[in-house]
């Protein structure tokens, strides 16, 4: 392998160098496939010739073993932009996931925007994670998602021979040890309705609710489905004879534009499921379907008839209802009931969990019904509710022993 060592910036006129110029090397690393000329690698900044020779020797070993990678001079921002276009254009990920990755890239750019990909070390990347954690601006799950996107970007950079080493390989998200107070606080942070409160809420929806309120909140309460799943629900998903509802899709509408929506596959593989519902829910749906038929007739020339169960009844009739609308309707009812106005449609999912646990359902049965493979919040609600059941069990045992004479 041809090459030489030299001091490119030496200004000494004598044979022995007395200035502070650093050493460099230039070594042949192969042939340019375009023009057939030799490709050379130049590297400088070494304090001594021995350091330059050692670095060059390591390079020669990489060339001999076929592990040499010529790192590209590309910035993190530019590479991340290229990566997200390829990621989104692969046809393998949902629009909502691509939008999430873009948000996470923006978080990474706050710290890595002005770095070259090849200059980002484990130290730099880890310090970024420390900073994000110490600023207390992000929840742990947000950090996990951002870190996951960072790992995907650098993994692709390795595959494309843009960098030699993956700075995320041994990095980790700092996490403080949870205290008893933290665990208790997390438990208290999960909000849901007790059964008496839920009855009051649904009774109010039936008597004082606006159009479609009762069917919306009955479905959310009795099935535990997500609001996006409810908005995407179609009549063909409902088996009136067997009292079953199939969850096969979710609505994506980030701009809250009624006519600009997308139907996506469920959040996870386990989210695709069939839910058995009570006869009273089927009865509510029958009444709603009849009312919707009347709306279709009233707007027969403009109705967006795509079979949606929870469809708009005015302005843009037939289009699927939006999550924001359901939030607003729920907040109105909570005020009328004098209940906690911080509750959301997702709180009804937690309510469903708590009441199933109180009724004696096992955790795995609840997970299956909700479409969860694993969920910390659901487990927290379940364990909180089953504490009282465990106390009841203890009391029953004690009473049994006292009855023995």
Query: Per-residue pLDDT tens for 226-275?
Result: 999 999 999 999 999 999 999 999 999 988 899 999 999 886 778 899 99
Least confident of 144-153, 216-225, 347-356, 357-366: 357-366
- Among 39, 41, 40, 10, residue whose Cα is nearest residue 23: 10
Q: Which domains does the chain have, with CATH numbers?
A: 3-65 (no CATH), 76-172 (1.10.150.130), 195-391 (1.10.443.10)
The arithmetic mean of pLDDT across residues 117-132, rounded, is: 94
pLDDT, tens only, 49-65: 888 888 888 878 777 76
Residue 52 belongs to what H/E stretch? Answer: helix 49-65
Q: What are the φ/ψ torsions at residue 347 (nearest 5 degrees)? A: -65, -25
In three state form, how does the secondary structure of 250-296 look?
EEECCCCCCCCCEEECCCCHHHCEEEECCHHHHHHHHHHHHHHHHHH
Beta strands in 131-177 (DSSP E): none
Q: What is the pLDDT of residue 186?
A: 55
Task: Report yes or no: 381 and 354 within 8 Å, Cβ to Cβ.
Answer: yes
Angle, CA 367 vertex, CA 366 and CA 369 arms, to 5°: 65
pTM: 0.69
In the structure encoding, which two tokens stand for residue 134, read together?
């110490």
Instruction: Give the pLDDT confidence score for residue 12 in this predicted structure.
Output: 85
Which DSSP helix (H) or strand (E) runs through 199? helix 195-208
Q: Report pLDDT for 198.
A: 95
pLDDT for 105 beyond 70: yes
pLDDT of residue 402: 66
d(C-alpha 167, C-alpha 151), whole Å? 9
Bridge partners, 31 (sequence order): 38
Report, as an integer, the average pLDDT of 373-387: 76
Between strands 244-247 and 250-252, the pairing is unpaired
Q: Are 245 and 275 in contact (CB under 8 A)?
A: yes
- Structure tokens belonging to residue 248: 């096969």
Encode pLDDT of 127-162 as tens digits: 999 999 988 778 888 999 999 999 999 999 998 888
């Amino acid at each position: 392998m041809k090459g030489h060592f030299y001091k490119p910036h030496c200004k000494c006129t004598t044979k022995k160098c007395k200035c502070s110029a650093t050493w460099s090397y230039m070594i042949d690393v192969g042939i340019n496939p375009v023009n057939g000329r030799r490709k050379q690698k130049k590297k400088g900044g070494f304090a001594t010739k021995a350091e330059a020779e050692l670095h060059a020797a390591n390079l020669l070993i990489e060339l001999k073993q076929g592990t040499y990678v010529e790192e590209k001079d590309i910035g993190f921002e530019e590479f991340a932009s290229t990566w997200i276009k390829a990621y989104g254009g692969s046809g393998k990920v949902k629009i909502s996931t691509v939008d999430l990755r873009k948000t996470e890239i923006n978080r990474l750019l706050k710290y890595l925007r002005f770095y070259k990909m090849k200059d980002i070390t484990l130290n730099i990347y880890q310090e970024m994670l420390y900073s994000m954690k110490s600023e207390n601006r992000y929840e742990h799950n947000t950090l996990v998602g951002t870190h996951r996107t960072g790992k995907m970007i650098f993994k692709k950079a390795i595959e494309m021979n843009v960098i030699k080493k993956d700075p995320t390989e041994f990095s980790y998200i700092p996490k403080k040890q949870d205290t008893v107070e933290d665990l208790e606080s997390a438990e208290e942070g999960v909000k849901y309705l007790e059964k008496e409160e839920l009855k009051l809420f649904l009774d109010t929806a039936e008597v004082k609710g606006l159009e479609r309120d009762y069917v919306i909140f009955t479905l959310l309460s009795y099935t535990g489905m997500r609001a996006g799943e409810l908005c995407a629900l179609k009549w063909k998903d409902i088996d009136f004879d067997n009292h079953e509802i199939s969850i096969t899709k979710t609505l994506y509408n980030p701009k809250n534009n009624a006519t600009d929506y997308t139907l996506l596959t469920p959040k996870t593989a386990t989210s695709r499921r069939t839910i058995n519902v009570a006869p009273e829910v089927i009865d509510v749906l029958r009444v709603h379907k009849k009312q919707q038929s009347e709306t279709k007739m009233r707007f027969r020339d403009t109705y967006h008839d795509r079979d949606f169960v929870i469809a708009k009844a005015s302005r843009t009739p037939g289009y699927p209802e939006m999550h924001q609308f359901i939030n607003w309707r729920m907040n109105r009812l909570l005020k009328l009931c004098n209940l906690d106005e911080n509750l959301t449609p997702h709180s009804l999912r937690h309510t469903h969990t708590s009441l199933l646990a109180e009724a004696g359902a096992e955790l795995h049965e609840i997970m299956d019904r909700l479409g969860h493979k694993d969920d910390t919040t659901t487990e927290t609600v379940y364990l909180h509710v089953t504490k009282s059941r465990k106390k009841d069990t203890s009391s029953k045992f004690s009473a049994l022993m006292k009855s023995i004479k």
